[in-house]
């Protein structure tokens, strides 16, 4: 009854039975500037990854999903491949350690910060909440063993870009430490969890979708103005705060564009949110983030992204082949919302609206105040606790 009372107090939210969600990530493939046929490559999945709801969101992929494409083609036929991969990992670790030594601070975060509480665990490492005695504030720390990363250069890239790009709608970098072969990232603490943890429990109204999307667009407009591509926009990487804040996180796959290199070709991202031009291995730019945000908008309305019932490989084929993703609830969407989705999800990235243009879209004028965000978080947590209690009681009865 308590859950129903909370829902009644929050008219913007409707309960939705939770469903298990899996979201594996695409393996990295080498930037070579080549274009291929429109049929996407057969990308090997390294196995499903849980659609996590940890404090800092799930890392885009575990280390072994970033092997280059030619490695995948050799794994089944080369008996000595494990040894070769181990040697490569060790060499990368030495290079990464040398690069990181010039970026990170000296010292041990376990002596600087106090009151450590583990709040997340995954292939990327362990996430903690802790207190900074110097300020009395709460921070988030992500501890990542470098020996698990076959592409440690992505970590170096992540730190450099986070240090240079600070914004109210981004989980901002605070500090970093290298202790042995463990890298510690210290970042803003966001206490409401991921957008995923809310949308799998509640059905979000359009006015709230507009409010959350608007905040994400502010972050993307900032990043894109500085020629930074996030490359892994999804609900797992959008954090909500009990103060109503909405922040992008997980810059492990981000890329910096330059005048000399204005596009990228690497096949990276999460299968159900990835833009078609990435799967076709064509040169792409910041517009891939706009496609992904359009998928997140659908995800907020329908509880999951399009093609989620398909395997990752089949989903990639459908995304590359179809011009517009299918909708399960089109009749529930207003004309303005449909127009906004079409502005984000044009298969031609040159026609797709930019973040700056989308911030002027009439759909965003329907946005409610961000005070609804903490209410949604409370409702989602209450539903989750109720479901856990029912499962516990059922197990005891059995």
Both 117 and 22 in a single domain?
no
What are the tokens at 128? 């903690």
Question: What's the pLDDT score for residue 141?
Answer: 94
CATH number at residue 205: 1.10.510.10
What are the tokens at 49? 């990854």
Residue 269 is given by DSSP the state: B
Percentage of the chain lying above the pLDDT 70 cut: 74
Question: What's the pLDDT score for residue 217?
Answer: 98
Domain assignment present for 180: yes
Known catalytic residue at 236: no
Domain assignment present for 172: yes
Tell me the HSE value of 347 on the side-chain side, using a 13 A CA sphere.
Answer: 12
Tell which of 164, 188, 212 closes a domain: 188
pLDDT along the chain (398 residues), means of 10: 40 45 52 41 34 30 29 34 48 70 86 91 82 93 76 74 92 90 90 94 95 98 95 95 95 82 79 93 92 98 95 94 92 96 96 98 97 95 88 78
CA distance 232 to 239: 14
The total of other beta-carbon atoms located within 10 Å of residue 265's CB is 18
Both 240 and 347 in a single domain?
yes
Both 205 and 281 in a single domain?
yes
Both 223 and 143 in a single domain?
no
Q: Which domain holds residue 282?
A: 2-27+35-42+192-378
User: Which residue in 232, 236, 250, 346 is the catalytic one?
Assistant: 232
Domain assignment present for 164: yes
Residue in 230, 269, 267 with CA at minimum distance from that of residue 250: 230
C-beta of residue 173 within 8 angstroms of C-beta of residue 187:
yes
- Domains in the chain, number: 2
Question: What's the pLDDT score for residue 161?
Answer: 87
CATH number at residue 152: 3.30.200.20
Both 108 and 16 in a single domain?
no
pTM comes to 0.77
C-beta of residue 337 within 8 angstroms of C-beta of residue 209:
yes
Both 355 and 372 in a single domain?
yes
To which residue do tokens 């179809």 refer? 322
Cβ-Cβ contacts under 8 Å for 298 (sequence gap 6 or more)? 305, 306, 325, 327, 341
Tell which of 130, 164, 188 closes a domain: 188
Both 278 and 165 in a single domain?
no
Helices 287-302 and 206-225, interaxial angle, to 10°?
160
Both 337 and 225 in a single domain?
yes
* Exposure b/e, 75-87, CB count within 10 A at least 16 = b: eeeeeeeeeebee
Both 102 and 22 in a single domain?
no
To which residue do tokens 């290298």 refer? 178
Both 253 and 364 in a single domain?
yes
Both 184 and 313 in a single domain?
no
Domain assignment present for 238: yes
Q: Is 142 annotated as a binding residue?
A: yes
Both 128 and 214 in a single domain?
no
pLDDT in tens, 50-103: 232 222 233 333 322 322 233 223 233 344 444 444 454 555 567 777 778 778
Residue in 213, 200, 202 with CA at minimum distance from that of residue 53: 200
């Amino acid at each position: 009854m308590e859950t129903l009372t909370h829902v009644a107090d929050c008219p913007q939210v409707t309960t939705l039975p939770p469903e298990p969600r899996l979201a594996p990530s695409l393996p990295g493939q080498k930037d070579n500037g080549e274009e291929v046929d429109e049929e996407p490559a057969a990308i090997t999945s390294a196995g499903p990854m849980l659609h996590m709801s940890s404090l800092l969101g799930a890392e885009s992929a575990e280390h072994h999903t970033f092997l280059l494409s030619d490695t995948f083609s050799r794994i089944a036929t080369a008996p000595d491949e494990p040894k070769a991969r181990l040697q490569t990992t060790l060499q990368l670790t030495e290079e990464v350690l040398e690069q990181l030594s010039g970026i990170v601070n000296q010292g041990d975060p376990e002596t600087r910060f106090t009151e450590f509480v583990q709040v997340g665990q995954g292939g990327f490492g362990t996430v903690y909440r802790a207190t900074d005695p110097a300020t009395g504030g709460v921070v988030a720390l992500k501890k990542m063993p470098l020996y698990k990363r076959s592409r440690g250069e992505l970590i170096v890239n992540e730190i450099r870009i986070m240090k240079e790009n600070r914004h109210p709608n981004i989980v901002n970098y605070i500090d970093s430490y290298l202790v042995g072969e463990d890298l510690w990232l210290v970042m803003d603490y966001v206490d409401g969890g991921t957008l995923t943890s809310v949308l799998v429990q509640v059905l979000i109204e359009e006015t709230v979708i507009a409010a959350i999307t608007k905040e994400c667009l502010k972050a993307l407009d900032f990043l894109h103005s500085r020629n930074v591509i996030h490359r892994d926009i999804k609900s797992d990487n959008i954090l909500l705060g009990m103060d109503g804040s909405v922040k992008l996180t997980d810059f492990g796959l981000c890329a910096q564009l330059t005048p000399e290199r204005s596009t990228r070709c690497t096949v990276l991202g999460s299968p159900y949110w990835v833009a078609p031009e990435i799967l076709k291995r064509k040169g792409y730019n910041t517009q891939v983030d706009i496609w992904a945000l359009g998928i997140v908008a659908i995800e907020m309305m329908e509880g999951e992204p399009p093609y989620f019932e398909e395997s990752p490989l089949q989903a990639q084929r459908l995304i590359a082949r179809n011009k517009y993703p299918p909708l399960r609830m089109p009749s529930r969407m207003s004309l303005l919302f449909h127009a906004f989705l079409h502005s984000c999800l044009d298969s031609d990235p040159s026609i797709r609206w930019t973040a700056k243009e989308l911030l002027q879209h009439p759909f965003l004028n329907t946005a409610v105040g961000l005070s609804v965000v903490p209410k949604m978080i409370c409702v989602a947590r209450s539903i989750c606790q109720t479901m856990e209690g029912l499962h516990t009681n059922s197990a005891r009865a059995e």
